[in-house]
Every structure is written in C-alpha cells, then in structure tokens.
Structure 1
C-alpha cells in the first residue's frame, strides 16, 4: 500500500492536486506548501525587497501615498470650477439660438436686435395634456414603484445566493434558455398575425430570424454544458461571496450615497458647460457679397469643454475605484477577523482611508482607467471606420495587446492597496509577486466570472417586466404603450441588480486576494473559503481539481 506522501507526490506528478477529505487545518497548509511551493530562491519573500508579512493594515493613520496624482486631480477640479464660475459671470445674455433675431446695421457696422423671440412656453403643458402625458404619468409611477421594490428584491437575491445559490442557479439557467425562446416565438407569431409587420417582413425573413435566434440559444446551451464543472465551482464561490457581503450590508447604504455624491458633484460642472456655451458674441459675417449675423464663440471655450469633460471622466473613474477600495477594505477586515467577532466601523475606516491616505492611489488608478477607456474607445472608433492598410492593423493589434496587458495587471491592484495601504505601483508589483509565489494567477477570475449572476438577474428582470406589463394591461388604458413601460422597467431593474453583481464581483476578487495572503503566510482565517478556493485551477485551461479528485460538493 502506498503511503500518504507517495499519494500526494503522485497527484503532483499528474498535474492535479487532490485535496484532503477532512476540513482544512494548519497541518494541511504546511503539507500543501511543502509539496506545492516554488523553490526557496523564488518563493522566499526574504530573498527580495517585498514585505514578509502581508496582511490588512489596521493602522489608524496610514502613510499618504501617490500624493502628486492627488494634487494633479485637485488642480483639474479647481481649474474646472474656477473657469466655470468665470464662464457663468461672463456669459452673454444673447444666446446662440437668438441669432435669428439680429440683423446687420450698416450704419454702425454691427448686429442689432430686430424683434423679440417669443418661445413656446406652453409646449410642455400641452405635452402633459396630450396622450403622451398619460403615458409619462404611468411611466413615472411605475419607475418609482420599481425603485422602491428594488431594495427588497436585491436583499432577497443576496440572501438566496447565500443560502440557496445552487438551487437558484439551477432554476435560473433553464429560464435563461426558455425566456429567449418564448420571446422569439412570440415575436414570430405576433408579426405573422399583424398585417403591417407581415408586409414589411415576409415569411422567409421571419423564419431566418427565428432560426438564427434559436441557433444562438443553442450555442449558449452548448457553452454551459462544456463548462458545467466550472459552473459547480462558481456556485460555491458565489455563495461564499454572498455570505461575506451579507455580513457587511452597510455597503448597500454607503455605495449608493457615493454615486449620488458623484451626481451632485457633476451638476455644477454641467451648469458651467451650459454657461460656457453662452460666452461669445453675435458678429456680422460676409458670405457671397451678403452680410449676415452669426454667433462667434470665445476662443477659450473649446479648451474649457475639454478640461471639464476630462475632469468628469477622471472623477467618474476615480469614484468607481473608490467604491472598489471601500468594498475591498471592508471585506478584508471581515476576512481577517476571528470567526465569532464582529468588526466595528469597518466601512468608516475604509472610507477614511479611501478619501484620506490612499486618495492619491485612487486618483492614479482612476486616471489610468480613464486613459485606457479613452484609448480603447478611439481604437474601436477607428476600427469601425474604413481604415485599411497593414500598418493600421498592426497598430490596432499592438494597442489592444497593451490595453489588455494593463487590464490584466490592474485586476487586483486596487484591492491589494485597500488591504495593505501600499501605493499603486507597489500594489501592482506586490500583487503579481504574491500570486506568483503561491502558484496562483489572475486568469482564474474567468472561473468566478459574473456570467451566472448575469443570467440570474436577466431572468429576474424579465420576469419583473412581464409582471409589470400584465398589471398595466389590466389596470390602465395604455394599450401598446404598456410594452414600452415594461421595457423601461426591465432596463432599470437590470441596472439595479447589475450593481449588486458588480459589488459581488469585487467581493470575489477581494476574497481571492485575502486567500492568497493566507496561503502565503500558511494561515487559515476563513476555513470555508479555503475549502472552496483551494480547488481553483492554476491556468486558464486547467480543470477544477475537485472534478478530477471526485470530491463531493459541500453545498
């Protein structure tokens, strides 16, 4: 009979790790490091300049990091508001739309007002009195009810993922196929019955569209079947992440407030942009021997537009990174706490660190994200244009490769910065070294992707929209317009539940980094996390270990 050491070495030689059937203990961690760690020259932190004890930094006053980027961001904001106030004070009372009310006076060689422009102030009132007003009233009422109901629906989804993740996924996946098939067949029948639609789309075209949609659904089913083992592992990871998030429900109060704060911050900038448009004068211009009046904008206005738009893009990206920072800091405190203890003021300390010592790091990360988005948008726009030539193709490939490499390295950087308080560049380097030392990689994020969660919220949003449509048809006289209202509520519910998925996705990333830190130190702070994350593959094409080991799922 082979010994336990021989069995472990045999599992290693086959490229598959077989986890033990007993719960994870510190003895198992030592054995795991003994057989699966890289050579000491590579894995020993003391052989490099990296810290030997990576964990959550509980210091009440962390050192300030990336200060130059914070100062640069404040310079952009102050300049935007300063020039915006100047634009508001210096605006011309005559707007560009009033040019038609001016005529050229040859006596003074200038444009003068010819007549008053009377606007149609009753347009909005007439709109409300019309049939469109009835539609608008029902739409607003339905959206208000949707926003109110989104809170209990989100909490229901979260606690269902915590306790019944496997059942919820198994119930939702068939609907992910049934709902598109139903909509496809419903459209085909409705278009066949409707004379106008049947005239525009002959029977042959309707059959082609219906078959094409069914083929797409078949491809989706095939993808799920091929990745069924990864679906099982993802379900377990979703359950752990939902448990972590349910222990920090205060995030659902703080994160929306941060979004509302960003909107309130954008409002004066948008007002400044409107006033900046009014900075100019109406001047005469000669064209083909005729002189007419036109609006001439001040030369500094386009530069201010560029400054304000860049500031808004940077601010939006920085706010997204700040939310990730707060989520990561809060979840990390929960992870590294004792099993029976409750962390107090974890969200408050994460907010203090995010908008205090690590504000420069968040601004730096937001700047890089904004630049990447702008460059990627420019590349996609150029790709849609008729740009031929080998040089253009090579440049596009190089740019896409660089952007993908940056997104790969940036994946866990802000999570690590929230945990340790390190600067951005140090966090990127330390994260890479942490994952490399422990035979982990960012490619496993593909295993814990949000595809299953996206399928769940899509099904829930469709069901909610169908219920809304039925109620509107029964309780109102909207008729066909009820479908429009249902589509709008579907989009709103999808966005709200998508925010929950976004938070869960960041929780998954944070728990993964915390697990890597635990593994690096040979400790176990959360046993249930280790029992699941130990099955993660070390490469994109590597199957989850429990599939080969035939261990039962603990769900």
Structure 2
C-alpha cells in the first residue's frame, strides 16, 4: 500500500478521477489485501461466521405464520357463509315499495332493459393497452441488455432528456391551450403564465439536483452495471415474479366475491320518513350487523397478504442473487430460484409474514397520518411537527425492514434475529445502511420516464395515421405511457432489490475477509463507509 497522497490523486490533476472516488473514501491504510490476516477483536468472537444457508432451514416466526393462516381461514370461512346466506333481494332493493295492506316491502312486477354501445375511443384504448402490455416485456429485456453492456452511454444519453422532455411538454400545452378556443376561454392567460413559470421553476430545481450529483454519476453507472449483470444471470426472476403477482390476484378474487356477497346479507325493511305531514314509509336495505366486522377482517387480510407477497418477492430476489454471488464456480447455480421459492413459502414463510405485517402496519399508519386534518394556529403547528416525527419513524422502520428480509433470505434467520445481525454486520464493518446511491434509483426512474415518453409520442403518431380519434388520441397515449412506466417501474424495483442484496453480500464478504465476486468488490469498495464508530474495529475492505 502506498501513502494517502498516492492512493488519492488530486482532482485538479485528473478531473475524471473524482467521479470514481468514494463519497467518503476510507483511509488507504485501512484498505488491506484479503490475503492479509488481522487478529479478530473480542467483539467479533461472539458472532458466528455468516454465509448463505444452503441446507434445510428450520421453521422461523411460527406465531406470525399461524396468525396469518388463522386470519386467512377466517376470511374464507366467513366469506363462504356470506355467499350461502345471501339474500337475492339485495340486487334490486331500490325497486321495493311499501305495501300498506301487509305493512311490509314488496317487489312489483317490472322489467327493465338497458344496453350500451362501445365507442371508437374505447376500442382504440383497449388495443393500445394490449399492445403496450405485450411490448413491455421485450422493452424491459432490452433495457436490461443496454444497462449491462452500455450503461454509461444510456445514462449520459438520457440525462439531457430529463430536462428537454418536461420543458417541451410545458411549452406544448401552453401553446396548444393558447390556440384552442375552449381552453383559451376556460383558462385565462394570467393563470397559464403562472403555471408555465411554476413548472419551469420545478424543472430548474431538478436541473440543479442533477448538476449537484454529477460527481456521483460514474459510481452510479458502475453500480447499475453490476446489478444488471446479476439480474441477467438470474433472468428467470423476471418471469417468476409476475407469476407471483398473478397468484395474488387469484387469491384476492374469491375474497372480493365474498365482500360483494356479504353486502347481500340482510333484508329490505320499511323505514318511516320523518318531516312529512302524514305517515309515509320507504323501503331500505338493512345489512346484518356482522357485515362491517367481516369487511374489516377481509381488508386486513388483503393488506397483509399484499405486503407479504411483496416481501416474498424481495426474499426470492435476495435468495437467488445471493446464491449467484457466493457461487465461486464459473457455472451458474442450478435451481436457485426454485430453492428461494421453497424457502420463502416454506420454513421462512413466518418470517415473510412478520415482515409483511410490519410493512402493512407502516403503510396503514402512514396513510392515517397523511390524511389527518390539521387545526389552525398553534395546534396545527404541533400536529405538523408530530406528523413529521411520525413519518421519520415510519420511514426508519421501513428502511430497516428492507435489509432485514434480505439478510433473512441469505441466512434463514428469524425476523428479529436477522434485524439484529444485519445491524451488527454493518456496524462491525463500518458500512452505512443509508446506502448509496439513491442517485441510481433516480437515474433509472429517469431512464424509464424518457423511454415511456418516446413510446407515448410514437403511439400518438401511429394513432394520428390509422385512427379517426381527435383530441382523445392524447388520452390514449397518456394511458399507454402510464401502463409502460408502471411495468418498467416494477423492473426498476427488482433492480433496486438486486443492488441492496449485493450490498449485504458484499458486507458478508468484508466480514469474512473473502472475495466471492471480484467485479463487485471493485465497485462497492467505493461506496460510503460509516464513521460513527471508533477505529478499534478492523475494516477488511478489498482493493483489487
């Protein structure tokens, strides 16, 4: 190892070297070769070596699993009872009239018929969305290939469009509204100018953020390239994960049916209308008292199930990528996705349910906090402070949960044990869990935004040539843009999970002084390290 001056060349001498430097570069004396051995500290002796658990895993977090199964069984059992006890009169309760002779509500004999016709707009919209959905998969694979082989070119080619496209759309709507008669009269010129200036102000803020983070672009490109390589070596994930989403929809379908039929449990009863000069009754539908309670149980089950499936996807991604990372052979590990699925929905399903419960509670509490009304004056200010504190705590819990489920997928530990061991792992190696490169996520989102915008422009051009749509053409293109950006956004979410998983795997490598993937160490060694701890803990980073 050379001196600090030799290890860190001056930015003035080499301006391009700054982009490759870590944000908080550890001292050169602390970066040692993996072959060099250092005596373990007393704190490190109490922790067993961490590695991927390939063997049979014990069942973890059984109480969370049993609670989830009990809630699901209750939802289905009560739902089946609701279907069996439904009252067909609920579908036409508004047609009942009060019969004074019997003092009850009766259904008069009447028939009604209604029909609807499809429009050109609906036909073109459906076909456009179907074609977009079919093309979304190949587009995602093309983006993955480009990020793996030409990440630098893609990133630098996309950055200008982060500004150009919003600016073009801002000017376009202003001119189109000025030309259009209805828009010009409905939207006065002063308001149009205010909106135009405000949007340009937001674009200027975004431009400032890009310029302020230019020094991190090179490191971000390397991180994205490594993650794309890992995902390309486990390309089956892009086929398996959507199937899990389809499975969730299949699981939700009967619950939705049960919820609909549960509202049919009741009867039509007469109710006296107050405020009339003489006695007058109308017929209303009265639900049974247990229906609201069933709605609460079913909604809790659906929220927990959706959160659990999302955590199961993270578990499968983490387990699969970890097997690829720790595989020191040239060939890919076989049946890695299958083993991850077996662990996620087998012995570790209780841990996944525990994590899903945590995520579900955080989402519900955050929704309650965000929808809370604020009073005026001092009380409103206090509520605002409490709201900010609550959001900070919820974000911290959500963040810790993300790394916990990744660690559980690698080691097979229970939820609480995985949370503790993850913190200790990062602390011992002076790694900051406030990881990285939120810049990488923003750049990826920007890239899919640009691609989706170009796709929407192409849709507009095609519809203009082959369709008779007028202004509705823009709405069809907007829906196509939204659908494509949702699909590609899910692809970015998978890539983000791959980045976080590799980060934890890299931390495990540092902890053991090993190098399982040399290319990963070449990039991740440049990431920030935590300086919240003393120098007594040895840092065994690797400089290849």
Q: TM-score, normalised by structure 1?
A: 0.88
Query: Is the Cα–Cα contact under 8 Å of residues 8 and 18 in structure 1 kept in the other structure?
Result: no
CA deviation map 1:416-440 (0-9, x unaligned): 0000000000110000000000000
Match of 1:29 among 29, 34, 48: 34
Q: Which runs of 5+ in 2 are unaligned?
A: 10-22, 533-543
* Helix, strand or coil at the partner of 2:350: helix
- Within 5 Å, give how 1:275-294 maps onto structure 2: 275-288=261-274, 289-294=279-284
* Counterpart for residue 544 of structure 1: none
Contact 2:265–2:291, Cα closer than 8 Å, also in 1: yes
1:206 pairs with one of 192, 205, 210: 192
Equivalent pair of 1:230/1:447 in contact (CA under 8 Å)? no
1:142 is matched with 128
The reply to whether residue 107 of structure 1 matches residue 101 of structure 2 is yes
- Give the CA deviation at 1:394: 4.9
Give the stretch that moved more between structures: 512-521 or 334-343. Answer: 334-343
Aligned residues between the structures: 514
Q: For residue 393 of structure 1, report the CA deviation from its aligned partner.
A: 4.0
Contact 1:92 1:279 in 2 (8 A): yes
Please tell me whether the aligned partners of residues 315 and 405 of structure 2 are also in contact (alpha carbons under 8 angstroms): yes
Q: 1:466 to 1:10 in 2, by over 3 A?
A: closer
Q: 2:51 aligns with which of 55, 69, 75?
A: 55
Distance in 2, matches of 1:111 and 1:324, equals: 55
2:2 pairs with 1, 4, 9, which one? 4
| SS of equivalent to 2:269 | strand
1:370, distance to aligned residue in structure 2 (A):
0.4
Change over 3 Å in CA distance of 1:362–1:386 after alignment to 2:
farther
**SS in structure 2 at match of 1:28:** coil
Say which of 381, 387, 392 aligns to 1:396. 387
Question: In 2, distance between residues paired with 1:440 and 1:84?
Answer: 49
Q: Is the 8 A contact 2:428 2:511 kept in 1?
A: yes
The root-mean-square deviation of aligned C-alpha atoms, in Å, is 2.5
Name the structure 1 match of 2:76.
Answer: 81
Deviation at 1:512, TM superposition (A): 0.1
Conservation of the 8 A alpha-carbon contact between 2:129 and 2:480: yes
- Please say if 1:70 is aligned against 2:65: yes
The question of 1:497 aligning with 2:483 is answered: no
**How far, CA to CA, are the matches of 2:140 and 2:439 in structure 1?**
20
Q: Distance in 1 between matches of 2:383 and 2:195?
A: 35
- Residues 245-300 of structure 1: per-residue CA shift (max 9 Å, x gap): 00001001100100000011111111111100111000111232422211110000
Q: Residue 40 in 1 paired to residue 41 in 2?
A: yes
CA distance 1:380–1:431, shift in 2 (3 Å): same
CA contact (8 A) 1:101 1:117 kept: no
Q: State how far apart, in whole Å, the 1-side matches of 2:438 and 2:525 are.
A: 13
Distance in 1 separating the partners of 2:7 and 2:458:
57
Check if 1:518 corresponds to 2:512.
no
Q: Does 1:324 align with 2:314?
A: yes
**Kept after mapping to 2: 8 A contact 1:411/1:442:** no
Q: Is the contact made by 1:329 and 1:350 (CA closer than 8 Å) also made in structure 2?
A: yes
SS in 2 for 1:442: coil
The alpha carbon displacement at 1:110 in A equals 1.8
Quote how far apart the aligned CAs of 1:446 are: 4.1
Q: Identify the match of residue 351 of structure 2 among 331, 350, 361.
A: 361
Instruction: String of CA shifts for 1:288-317, please: whole Å, max 9, x gaps.
Output: 242221111000000001111110000000
What residue in structure 2 maps to residue 546 of structure 1? none
Residue from 193, 214, 217 that aligns with 1:228:
214
Question: Superposed, which structure 2 residues align to 1:245-394 within 5 Å?
Answer: 245-288=231-274, 289-383=279-373, 388-389=379-380, 392-394=383-385
- Using the TM superposition, give the Cα deviation of residue 389 of structure 1 relative to its aligned residue in structure 2, in angstroms: 4.5
Give 2:539's aligned residue.
Answer: none
**Cα distance change, pair 523–282 in 1 and its aligned pair in 2 (3 A):** same
Offset, 1:134: 1.5
Once residues 186 and 419 of structure 2 are traced to their aligned partners in structure 1, the CA distance between those partners, rounded to angstroms, is 56
Q: Tell me the CA shift for residue 232 of structure 1.
A: 1.8
1:2-48 Cα distance to aligned partner (Å, 9 max, x none): x836769999xx9743669xxx9xx61366x86xx9x924xx322x3
Deviations 1:338-369 (A, max 9, x none): 15122000000000000000000000000110
Per mean C-alpha deviation after superposition, the further-off stretch among 441-450 and 261-270 is 441-450
- Contact 2:52-2:323 at 8 Å conserved across structures: yes
Alignment partner, residue 118 of structure 1? 112
Q: What corresponds to 2:459 in structure 1?
A: 468
2:88 to 87, 90, 93: 93
Distance 2:259 2:83 in 1: 9
Q: 4+ runs of 1 displaced by more than 6 Å?
A: 5-11, 384-387
Q: Is the 8 A contact 1:468 1:486 kept in 2?
A: yes
CA contact (8 A) 1:330 1:347 kept: yes
